[in-house]
Amino acid sequence: MSTFEKFNSWLKSSITVRSLVILILILLLLIPTSMVTDLIRERKSRKYEAQREVSEKWGGSQIVTGPIVTIPYKRSYMETDINGHKKISYTKELAHFLPEELNIDGSLSPEIRHRGIYKVAVYASTLNISGKFETFDFDDFKVSPYDVYWDEAYVSLGISDMKGIQERIVMEWNDQILEFGPGLKNDDLYYSGASVDLPLDSLKEGAFELTLKLNGSDGLQFSPIGEVNNVHLDSKWPNPSFFGTFLPDKRSISTDGFTADWKVLNLNRNFPQKWINNAHKVNQADFGLNLYIPVDHYQKSTRSAKYAIMFIALTFLSFFFMEIMNKKRIHPIQYILVGLALCIFYALLLSLSEQLNFNWAYLIASIAVVGLIVSYIAAIFKSGRLTLITTGILTMLYSFVFVIIQLEDSSLLMGSIGLFIVLAVVMYFSRNIQWSTIGKPSPAQHNEDPLIRSEDDELEDGDEIIEE
């Protein structure tokens, strides 16, 4: 036998070489796996585009701030002109006053809108806003009451997306009716909202009450501008996600909806009850909720794709042991075809989940892929026993990942335990394999596989005894 033939024979029989080839194939299959992940990300971005389109027409995530009273005044200062003469000049500044008490009692009516195949959570809200302002005192600003432009005072209400306003905003202020107009007179506090002038005789103190009917999508937030803030919300949406600077003090969530109550003090935030010009921004302490849609199919598809490398590695490992235990050669091309079938599962899962319930999509995609791989392996091994083993392994893998996907909070724990069990099983069944003798014929056993047969093994049906 020539050197080349010996080297070629060694390549074919070497377990180390076959192991390295399989490892390289697994790494190469990460390329289509990453492509599937990119596809999921692209489809998810399209979903966000659909949500944005609906929000642009219905109303986006809303932030409600106010009302806040703003009173202009003049401040004098000494300056020197180009000739060195000193003179008194005046500048106009704005004093912003926050309410002593702010109460919001809101109700959300949610619904699901569809944009093509995508779902968008929107709501129509009714917010009853009330409270009171204490006396507007300029002593802290060292401003004389005679320098205050009382007749230019106004109230502003911050609304992040004005498209969501459904009715006129009418406020009752000390038994007087005031109607808000569009736009703000300055952007010291926020950049979008409505405002209304205040009558001169109402500036000593003021109690207010108004109803705001507002459409929005995804979420609703409030700014705690009162010295004491009490917010109550209720809705039939069963999956609220509370977020922001403050969580509810009390909340009740059920399949019929939720109720939530916040109580926030001015001591809990980092801005005062009054200031000049743009010294502070009020939205730094916002709180509220999102209309959470439980783990959607894109999130589940992404989570399942993270286990692709485990699927491919364990499947290839199973085939590798079948090769060793049964002296059946599987060509690298056949490994690649099986690996591509495993990758196509995620494309099937993604496309089906956009049309069906995720659980049904997972079931259909897994049955299709398992059936394809099992039928292919049956043609390769031509063994019913090995076909059943392959079916069982793939079924357990897909069932295991499905369970992990459903367990959002404990998925890492279950995944770690599952991988530990898999490793333990592999180590147990491979404990007696003599790796150094694989591929080397034994004189006593001729060409029989030392791992499969022994002298005490019974003959299987169809075996014949050949006498020399």
Residue spans of the domains in the chain: they are 13-45+298-437, 59-294
Q: Is 183 left (phi over 0), alpha (psi -120 to 50) or beta?
A: left
Element (H, E) at 257: strand 257-265
The contacts of residue 105 (CB under 8 Å, 6+ apart) are 127, 128, 232
Kindly report the backbone phi and psi dihedral angles of residue 196, in degrees, each rounded to the nearest multiple of 5, phi listed first. -150, 145
Strand 206-217 relative to strand 170-173: parallel, antiparallel, unpaired? antiparallel
Contact 339, 30 (CB under 8 A): no
Query: Helix H segments across 100-234?
Result: none
Provide CB contacts within 8 A for 267, sequence distance 6+. Answer: none
Per the CB < 8 A criterion, the answer to whether 133 and 205 are in contact is: yes
Let me know if 42 is exposed, middle or buried by CB neighbors in 10 A (0-12, 13-18, 19+): exposed
- How does DSSP classify residue 293? -
113 contacts 215 by C-beta, under 8 angstroms: no
CA distance 318 to 352: 28
Nearest by Cα to 253 from 266, 269, 234: 234
CA-based nearest residue to 214, from 302, 145, 128, 334: 128
Q: How many CA atoms lie within 13 A of 431 on its CB side?
A: 6
Q: Per-residue confidence of the chain (468 residues) as pLDDT tens digits?
A: 565 555 455 555 566 667 777 788 878 887 887 887 788 888 878 777 877 888 788 888 999 998 999 999 988 777 766 766 677 777 889 999 999 999 999 999 998 887 777 778 899 999 999 999 988 888 888 888 888 888 889 999 999 999 999 999 999 998 889 999 998 888 888 889 999 998 766 567 789 999 999 999 989 999 999 999 999 999 999 989 999 999 999 999 998 999 999 999 999 998 999 999 988 888 889 999 998 877 567 777 877 787 788 778 888 877 777 777 666 777 788 888 888 888 888 888 888 888 888 888 889 998 998 899 888 888 887 778 878 888 888 888 888 888 877 776 666 777 778 778 877 877 777 666 665 665 555 554 444 444 444 444 444 444 444 443
Q: How far apart are CA 151 and CA 210, in angstroms?
A: 22
pTM over 0.85: no
Nearest to 245 by CA among 218, 223, 276: 223
List of long-range contacts for 42-46, beta carbons under 8 Å, 24+ apart: 43/298, 43/350, 43/354, 44/298, 44/302, 46/118
Ranges of beta strands (E only) in 381-421 are: none
